[in-house]
Amino acid sequence: MLRSMVHRRLVGLSICALALLCQPGCGGGGGGGGSVGGLPVAPDPTCSALAPAVRLVTAAQIQARLHENIIVPATSIEHASDIGIRAHTNHLILATTSRGVGPQGFSPSGLDTAYNVPSNGGAGAIALVDAFNYPTSLNDFNVFSTQFGLPTETSSDATAPTNTAFRVVYAPGSKPSDDGGWAQEAALDTQWAHAMAPKAKIYLVEAASASLDDLAHAANVAKALPGVKQVVMSFGATESACEFATYDKFFLQNGVTFYSAAGDDAGNQDYPGESKNVVCCGGTTLNVSLTGAWASETAWNGTACGVSQFEPRPLFQNVVFSLVGKFRGACDIAADGDPATGVSVYDSFAFQGVSGWQVYGGTSAAAPILAGMANTALESHPSSQAQNAVFYAEIGTANFHDITSGSAGGLNAATGWDFPTGVGSPNGLGGF
């Protein structure tokens, strides 16, 4: 086991060095070269070929691995043709006989109680980056908000700059094409960022496509929107050397923290989850008492986690050097992500026979939940690395539930920091 890990890191180091030699051509996004937001992106075929082989190709494989009764959206499945080109969603849907009839799963007040956070917090804005257009986003945002007593958007125009609660921004400047799977992702992202920070304005920033170039451009747009303090990226792609060399620089903006889903392919690593410039969010199985208080939490077995093959260990992980070695380890922090203990989401844009009220899970749930908590905590850090430094400095404190049971991909939760759950889940807002 140890020999295998050492060999893997040496291979990763050699590939990473090769990737750096390939700059500025290192990249592989779908934009075909040029620049994104004024920053260079030019794909190089040598670097693009360094991506690992595809890991999962069918919904049946995912369902069998997780041992859960779930619906796997087509957009959450990675294909060989996506490697180094496109990202996938990281949400899963609980399959039950009463789907669509009304809210099920955790409500906003349920998670507020479980994680000991106020129910009426938030300020400024949170931007959620997703691909393609979600045509019923404003309607669904308001249905969700009305159901749970949250602020609604009074405007009938989802894109109006004067909107106070919710606004859609087309990153390419014009409306992208509709996509049902990415609409599900956007519903989860926008509704649960709003749930955890009701007073923050919610921006849905729609990329032209799921290409890494287009999503990087959308992140670049998102971080510059008025009032934005957190940017959420629930998408993921199999990590490759070129992604780090090409896209890490987009996740930097003074005063903005980027929250990324770790991914739902247990034991493996997704990008941008493994970027040093994001807070990597793992998933948990959350159990509460009869009063709704936090009772226990275990690592969700679907969480993608482990040691990056390419990203050098950032300074904030020096305190866990004995576990991660010379490369960045994921995750940093965790929250509810198991579809079996998932959250209620409303999406009226039907996809694969699914519409209406559903129970969603995946690390795509953890990312907006944690970003919303951070916003309610009024956290203001110069970068995601600075936010992570705060988290890691408080390992083992009462600000976090230390999750010590469960595993993902053979990596176990343990006392202190661990790969599936990082520093643990929030116990109040003191850890932000």
Structural domains in the chain, CATH included, are 2-426 (3.40.50.200)
**What torsion, rounded to 10 degrees, do the Cα atoms 157, 160, 164, 169 define?**
100
pLDDT above 80: residue 100? no
Residue 56 pLDDT class (50, 70, 90 cuts): low
Mean pLDDT value across residues 356-376: 97
Judged by DSSP in three states, 129 sits in: strand
Q: What's the token pair of residue 300? A: 């969700």
Residue 45 pLDDT class (50, 70, 90 cuts): very low
Decide if 332 contacts 315 (C-beta within 8 A): no
Between 5-19, 168-182, 344-358, 378-392, the lowest mean confidence (pLDDT) is in 5-19
pLDDT above 80: residue 34? no
Instruction: Give Cα 129 distance to the centre of its chain.
Output: 10
DSSP state letter for 42: -
pLDDT above 50: residue 22? no
Mean pLDDT value across residues 356-374: 97
- The pairing of strands 201-207 and 125-131 is parallel
Average pLDDT, the chain: 89
- Residue 414, classified by CB atoms within 10 Å of its CB into exposed (0-12), middle (13-18) or buried (19+), is middle
- Residue 390, classified by CB atoms within 10 Å of its CB into exposed (0-12), middle (13-18) or buried (19+), is middle
| pLDDT on residue 60 | 77
For every residue of 234-276, DSSP letters joined together read --BEE--HHHHHHHGGGG--TT-EEEEE--SSTTS-EETTT-T
**Bigger pLDDT: 420 or 52?**
420
What's the pLDDT tens digit per position in 302-319?
999 999 999 999 999 999
Decide if 221 contacts 207 (C-beta within 8 A): no
Rounded to whole angstroms, the Cα distance separating 86 from 266 reads: 20
Winning range, highest mean pLDDT, from 62-71, 237-246, 415-424: 415-424
Between 75-84, 110-119, 257-266, 298-307, the lowest mean confidence (pLDDT) is in 75-84
Nearest to 247 by CA among 280, 220, 279: 220
**Bigger pLDDT: 430 or 54?**
430
Percentage of residues of the chain with pLDDT beyond 90: 78
